[in-house]
Amino acid sequence: MSDKSSADILNRRKFLGAVGLAGAGAALGAKPAMAEGVKPDPLITEIQDWNRYLGDGVDKKPYGVPSKFEKNVIRRDVSWLTASPESSVNFTPLHELDGIITPSGLCFERHHSGVADINPAEHRLMINGLVDKPLVFTMDDIKRMPRMNKVYFLECAANSGMEWRGAQLNGCQFTHGMVHNVMYTGVSLKTLLDEAGLKPNAKWLMLEGADAAAMNRSLPIEKALNDCMLAFAMNGEALRPEQGYPLRAVIPGWEGNLWVKWIRRIEVGDQPWQTREETSKYTDLLADGRSRKHTFVMDAKSVVTNPSPQAPLKHKGRNVLSGLAWSGRGTVKRVDVSMDGGRNWQTARIDGPVFDKSLVRFYVDFDWNGQELMIQSRAMDSTGYVQPTKDELRKVRGVNSIYHNNGIQTWLVRSGGETENVEIG
């Protein structure tokens, strides 16, 4: 090292030391002089390695990746849930995120036969059945049509499904992580159907994917013409293969299995197709043995993401409670939070944009002195619907179901800050 460089570093160390002392004094509202006997913080007074050396150039990582210090922020699965990873699910780390937009790489995945690897130049979308003119579109055809951008949540019907009979999985990620919220770019489904022309008796669509399962679901024509779209981008970039690249259905507010990925065909008919996925699967088995079918809408729901089992309280004094709420019927109008298991409630502060059928972020700033807390949240939407307790759900639906569990979640915060998934009897 040259003498000049050594002098520069020495002068910089003195400067940082002076700034550190002044900054600490200003932050505390005290005199800028260091209190007698207080040891200076070397993270302020000393030059760190990241100050000392040149960093990577602009082309080192031509596609950005998170900091190495965020390596724990990943999707996770529960290995014993399914027999095969190709027909399985992993979960969004809700407790590690903030705001309302889910990073594309952290959106949960649910596949029925693994991820289809499709060359967009060879992908085709066919519309047939009760139409005036059967059509086949290339991706270039679709991208020349009028576009739209919308922020919507996508929730698997089985989200929170393991909790029907009681608290099971000790993590916000594992209990509620089959939901994400992104901005989709694509074309209105109505635009495509208008191109083909619907016959007067057209009542239902069958959406079919190009994956090995040929995943398919029936969709009422009213919903298709109202607000559905076919998306080729999310969060400003092409869909990830895991999210349906190059084209997927977007069915706002309705259960995720209807959002057919890698969509290749839309057949128009006069009645639902009664496919495997809408008869033996994705129905809600009731206590008397009957099943609810075509339970499309995801009702209002909320969850406190911090604190939660994977994000315990670490500090006494001032803290921030954070959570997410959503409704498939409209917008979230209010979220209430209880710290004592539902005996008393306060209205949370919703911060950030509030879109139709989108996640909202809510906060409660609070003081914690180490007392045990029983934290809950409940959402109210624009239709007046109020998120129910789990017991209220079970009185109507029993405990045989897997799907559509939007009951109020309870986290127990112990005196040391450890947080557990519990239920109140």
Strands 349-351 and 346-347: unpaired
Strands 360-368 and 237-238: unpaired
What's the chain's Rg over C-alpha atoms? 26
Does the pLDDT of residue 216 top 50, yes or no? yes
**Residue 71 Cα distances to 96, 106, 176, 312, angstroms:** 11, 12, 21, 19
pLDDT in tens, 373-407: 999 999 999 999 999 999 999 999 999 989 999 99
Of 31 and 74, the structure prediction assigns the larger pLDDT to 74
Does the pLDDT of residue 6 top 70, yes or no? no
- Indicate the SS3 state at residue 261: coil
Report the alpha-carbon distance of residue 186 to residue 166 in Å, rounded. 40
Of 195, 81, 187, 82, whose CA–CA distance to 136 is shortest? 195
Across 341-370, average pLDDT: 98
DSSP bridge pairs for 126: 136, 265
Of 384, 367, 278, whose CA–CA distance to 327 is shortest? 384
**Residue 317 Cα distances to 118, 138, 416, angstroms:** 53, 58, 13
Q: Using an 8 Å Cβ cutoff, are 373 and 339 in contact? A: yes
pLDDT at 34: 56
Report the alpha-carbon distance of residue 247 to residue 325 in Å, rounded. 27
Per-residue pLDDT band for 349 (boundaries 50, 70, 90) equals: very high
Give me the amino acid identity at 61: K
pLDDT at 424: 86
Q: Using an 8 Å Cβ cutoff, are 385 and 330 in contact? A: no
Does the pLDDT of residue 14 top 60, yes or no? no
**Residue 153 Cα distances to 100, 304, 330, 410, angstroms:** 9, 17, 11, 22
Across 11-19, average pLDDT: 39
**Residue 331 Cα distances to 194, 305, 384, 387, angstroms:** 28, 20, 10, 13
pTM across the whole model: 0.89
* Domains located in the chain, CATH noted: 76-291 (3.90.420.10), 301-422 (2.60.40.650)
Q: Using an 8 Å Cβ cutoff, are 203 and 342 in contact? A: no
pLDDT in tens, 224-275: 999 999 999 999 999 999 999 999 999 999 999 999 999 999 999 999 999 8
Q: DSSP per residue over 320-356, as a string?
A: EEEEEEE-TTS-EEEEEEESBTTSS-EEPEEES---T
Percent of the chain with pLDDT over 70: 91
pLDDT at 38: 85
Q: Positive or negative CA dihedral for 347, 350, 354, 358?
A: negative
Of 320, 315, 328, 307, whose CA–CA distance to 375 is shortest? 307
